Amino acid sequence: MKNFVYALVILLIVLHQDFWFWDDSETLVLGFIPIGLAYHMGISIAAACTWALANHFCWPKDVDEIESLPKAQARGQEGH
């Protein structure tokens, strides 16, 4: 699943280059949003969904352990 999510991120980057809508000023979504803009608004929403999946399936294992570290483990005072 982890690899699938990272593949989705790469797919998102590829899909960002939407040469297929490059010169379309006729098609309007909801009657007023040009398709080239609506598509990229969709990319923003897809980015949010992809990173939500990453939160779930690709969460780094070691970072949650760090939360339980006592503060004293930080080197001396904050800022060394």
Partner 1 sequence: MLQVGIICGYLALLLLLGVASSRFFRGTASDYFLASRGIGSFLLLMSLFGTTMTAFAMVGSTGESFKAGIGVYGLMASWSGIIHAAVFFLIGIKLWSFGKRHGYVTQIQFFRDRFESDKLGLILFPVLVGLVIPYLLIGIMGAGATIEKVTEGAFPSVFPAYFTGRTVVAAGAVPYWLGSLAICLVVLFYVFLGGVRGTAWANAFQTLVFLFIGCFTFVLIADKFGGVRNATAMVQEHNPHYLRRTVDADDPLTRYQGDLKVHGQRLAKWEAAPPEERGPKPAEVERPHGFTQLHFLTYFFIPLSVGMFPHLFQHWLTARSARSFRLSVVAHPLLILLVWAPCVMIGVWATSAMIDGKPVIPYGFTNPNAVLGKLVAELTTPVLGGFLTAGILAAIMSSLDSQFLCIGSIFTNDIVAHYIKHDRIGDRQRVFLGRLFVILIVAATYALAQFRPGGVFTLGVWCFSGFASLFPLVFAAVYWRRVTKAGAYACVLTAAATWIWLFAESGFAGDDNYLFLGMMPAATMVAASTLALVVVSLLTRPPSAATIEKFFGTVRA
Residues of this chain that interact with partner 1 (CB under 8 A) are 9, 12-13, 16-19, 21-26, 28, 31-34, 36-37, 40-41, 43-45, 47-48, 51-52, 54-55, 58, 60, 62-69, 73-80
Between the CA atoms of 60, 63, 65 and 68, what dihedral angle is there, to the nearest 10 degrees?
Answer: -150
| Cβ contacts of 54 within 8 Å, gap of 6 or more | 5, 9
Q: How far is the CB of 40 from partner 1 (least distance, A)?
A: 4
In whole angstroms, the minimum distance from the beta carbon of 4 to partner 1 comes to: 16
